[in-house]
Structures are given as structure tokens and as C-alpha cells.
Amino acid sequence: MEFPLVRKRRLRRTETIRRMVRETKLSVDDLVAPLFIVPGSNIKKPISSMPEQYHLSADTVSRECAELFDLGIPAVILFGIPESKDETGSQAIKSDGVIQNAIREIKKSSPGLTVITDICLCEYTSHGHCGVLKEKDVDNDATLELLAKMAISHAEAGADIVAPSDMMDGRVGAIREALDANNLENIAIMSYAAKYASAYYGPFREAADSTPQFGDRRTYQMDPPNAREALHEIQLDESEGADIVMVKPALAYLDIIRQIRDNTLLPVAAYNVSGEYSMIMHAAEKGLIDGDRVMIETLTSIKRAGAEIILSYFARRISEMLGNKG
């Protein structure tokens, strides 16, 4: 059949009809809110490159998480900026570290909130790279031991999910083995399985104070033109015990999200990263776009591509718009 019998506009006529036949529905249940934790108390300091995002101390983030949970957001992911840094990122594994303290405070105020923690050394090392250095390169195998200790420390503090973002070979297996050996077998691993060496991370590096002091991360993060390699990374992490796999960034890699969704039975997450967020926020501030509509359209595209879980700095704003009904 064709026009005039077929008139596609019939099902676009009203908002109610459009809602009824909508194929992809964005919900607060899809969202994870990233948060940046700093030492101290009563701190809520704006991050200049990321409008409406803040550095938060443990007490302040506890209150923030209670509000997010009340809005229906099921999970947060925590990134820590320690009091001091050194060559090996030793602050990352301390039981009273900035993230460990924040986890305990969050679990007191919002025990039902899922707490995910970033497992990577870049925020903790004085050189800004994601592991232990051997000359001017990251020593993959020496780094695995520290990542495993970091994951154990976070889990013992109360984290529900640990999320290795370092892109070291074998880190999912090392973390899974370490968790299981310490009676933490119920802690899930959300692997940054396909993390690309992207130019979209700029604002995050200011927020997390994690800019490399020399070189870049292209020897361990993925080369942006590669797609088949992402599928191989997913297969490897799945075989090592990952419970959730992630693609980062999201917008420039929607094709990767779709390919991974079609090739794994695991839940697929995608990170709507800082550069994607800040471009929309700054363009909206200048009146160049309708920020809220572009935000919804962007996150809907990520879900339509196949992501069940979306890490996004828009989480609070979207939850306020959508409400608990999704």
C-alpha cells in the first residue's frame, strides 16, 4: 500500500498518539550520574568547564545523592581527586581515601542507591597516566595489581559495582579474581570495554585533574577509527568476568554501541562524556540551540543505538524533566 491509503502523519497528529507509538523511551531508570569527590567538608565548588557540575566533599555528595535517589536516579559513579598524588597513585587504595569515605557517607544517607566507582589511577598519579610507569610508558602488568587492590578497597567500603576505565589488558580478570578471593564475589564489574582515545574528554580532565603531564593515552586507549577491535575487547572482557560492558564516548560511537548490542548478551552501557555535555550546555547558554530538546534527543539516540545504561551529566536535569515515571 502507498499514498493516499498510507498516511504516516496520522500517527504523528497529537503528542498523545506520538507517545503511544514511540519506539524508544528514555527513562530515569536508564541513568547513572557521574560525581566528582574532593577532600574536605561542606564543599560544593562549580567546575568551570562543565556548567551545573561540581566538586563535592563526602558530606555534600551524601546530600546530593539523597536528592538524586529521590528523583528516581538508580545509580551514581564516583571519581575521586585525592589530597596528594605520587608516582604510583597510592592514595587510591587507602581505606580512608576520598572515594572510600564518600561511599560510606552515601550508603548511610541512601542505602538503596547503587554506587559505582571508577577504577583507574589517572586521578591519583602525579604524572596523570592510568598506571605505573616504566620509563615513559605504562607498565601494564604492574598496574593490574594496584587496580585489583583499588577495587577491593572500594568494595569493602560499600561500592556495589566497580568500573575499570584504565584499558590495561587483563584488568577485568585480575579484578574479578581479586574480588572473589576476598569474599566479594557479589560485587559486579562494569568494564569500560571499548574506551577510545577521544578528544571529547577535555572538560573531564579539568574536573578530575587528570591531564597527562607528558604524552597521551593512545598506547592503551583504543584508536578511534577501529570498530572490529571493539568487538574483540568486548569478547575478552566478557570472558574475564565482566557483568556489564561500556562504550566511551557515546555520540561519535553510536555505531559501536549498536554493533556491541548485537554481539553480546550482557547489558551495554554508554558514557555521554564531558565534551558532549559541555558542547550542548555552552551552545544553549549562547542561545544557539534549545538545550533541553537537544539533551533529550542526544540521550534518546544513545538508547536507540542499544545502550540500556547511560552515564550522563544530564542525569539530574533529565530526571527533573521526566519525573519518576520515566
Write out the chain in H/E/C secondary structure.
Answer: CCCCCCCHHHHHCCHHHHHHHCCCCCCHHHEEEEEEECCCCCCEEECCCCCCCEEECHHHHHHHHHHHHHCCCCEEEEEECCCCCECCCHHHHCCCCHHHHHHHHHHHHCCCCEEEEEECCCCCECCCCCCCEECCEECHHHHHHHHHHHHHHHHHHCCCEEEECCCCCCHHHHHHHHHHHCCCCCCEEEEEEEEECCHHHHHHHHHCCCCCCCCCCCCCCECCCCCHHHHHHHHHHHHHCCCEEEEECCHHHHHHHHHHHCCCCCCEEEEECHHHHHHHHHHHHCCCCCHHHHHHHHHHHHHHHCCCEEEECCHHHHHHHHCCCC
Please report how many Cα atoms fall inside a 13 Å half-sphere around the Cα of residue 155, on the Cβ side: 25
Catalytic residue (one of 195, 286, 303, 325): 195
Is 149 one of the annotated active-site residues of the chain? no
- Active-site residue among 44, 248, 286, 325? 248
Is there a catalytic annotation at residue 8?
no
Q: Report the phi/psi class of residue 215: left, alpha or beta, with left for phi > 0 and alpha for psi in -120 to 50.
A: left
Active-site annotation, residues: 195, 248
